[in-house]
Amino acid sequence: MDKTNKALASLNYFSVFFAPFLLPIAIYFIVDHSEVKQHAKKALISHIIPFLSVLGVIGMIVFSGFSNPSEATFLTVFFGGFLVVGLINLIVFIWNIVKGIKLLSGI
């Protein structure tokens, strides 16, 4: 892979800073290189994971509110869920940075 394609592939992962969904989709449809397209798909999936985790926690909070009226249970699910979401977001964020740096450095 040449320097331009490496830069585009790593830019997919670094887009977590400025355009998490838009840039990988745009690069996927604009660039013809198959390896860059693979990285665009991986980056897009890694940008979608935090969004899905937030939706999952919201669903758990709503479900726990309806299934168990106990305030302690609701607060445990609420704060525990957002702790898990924060951890997932942090892991995915770090993974994107590491993946982008590895592509740029040629590892």
Task: From first to last of the 107 residues of the chain, give the pLDDT tens digit.
Answer: 788 889 999 999 999 999 888 999 999 999 999 999 999 999 999 999 999 999 999 998 888 877 767 888 888 888 999 999 999 999 999 999 999 999 998 86
What pTM value is reported for the model? 0.84
**What pLDDT is recorded for position 3?**
87
Range of the domain at 19: 3-105
Q: Are 21 and 47 in contact (CB under 8 A)?
A: yes
| Total domains, the chain | 1
Q: Give 61's contacts (C-beta < 8 A, 6+ positions apart).
A: 74, 77, 78, 81
